[in-house]
Amino acid sequence: MAQRGKSSMGYFFGFKLHLIINDKGEILNFLLTPGNTDDREPLKDKKFLERIKGKLYADKGYVSKKLTEVLFVDGLHLITHIRNNMKNVIMEMKDKILLRKRSVIETVNDELKNICSIEHSRHRSFNNFVTNLISALIAYSFFPKKPAIKYDTINENQLVLF
């Protein structure tokens, strides 16, 4: 089932773990795909996103006009940085700030790899691999402190006079 894929670090043989987390660092959903799968493919899967609503912050690799429209119809607003060859889009200040906080998902990935030992290349069977993966995700869910985004908004109901 494992396939040869390419990442920013080079070629690898294995699987990709796709995670959706909330602002508290809790894992909402995950999906395991072969290494040669495009990163946007899991977002087209209705079962992967069936309980997810609101805004979805992603990197530039997820930019696709068609995908954004499909997700918007399903109740998800995909927010990404724009690429160099794209036109500027108007974005709320809150979204710009939260888009900069995408490093939280990298921290979650780092904790899964280093603390929970999710990255392992010596599995002899697929069942062993999946058991190790699921147990690491469960162990992560019991961590007392997870990487989180602390973003407080102040609602001012005052009129500004000039």
Contact 32, 62 (CB under 8 A): no
pTM exceeds cut of 0.85: no
* List of residues 6+ apart from 149 with CB closer than 8 A: 23, 24, 98, 101, 104
Domains, the chain: 3-141 (3.30.420)
Q: Give me the pLDDT at residue 135, please.
A: 93
Encoding tokens for residue 89?
Answer: 């889009």
Terminal-residue alpha carbon distance, the chain: 66
Using an 8 Å Cβ cutoff, are 66 and 119 in contact?
A: no
Structure tokens at 143: 């961590």
What is the chain's pLDDT, residue by residue, as a tens digit (162 residues)? Answer: 777 887 777 887 778 888 888 888 899 999 998 888 888 888 888 888 888 888 888 877 777 778 888 888 888 888 887 776 777 777 788 888 888 887 888 899 899 989 988 877 777 788 888 888 999 999 999 999 998 887 766 666 655 554
Q: Give 11's DSSP letter.
A: E
Report long-range pairs for 131-139 (Cβ below 8 Å, ≥24 apart).
133/17, 133/32, 136/112, 137/27, 137/30, 137/112
14-19 — which CB contacts under 8 Å span 24+ positions?
14/121, 15/129, 17/112, 17/118, 17/133, 18/42, 18/48, 19/105, 19/108, 19/109
Residue 92 carries which DSSP code? -
Predicted local confidence at residue 139, as pLDDT: 93
The tally of CA atoms less than 13 A away on the side-chain side of residue 154 is 2
Which strand (E) or helix (H) includes residue 104?
A: helix 103-114
Alpha-helix runs per DSSP H in 4-85? 46-49, 65-73
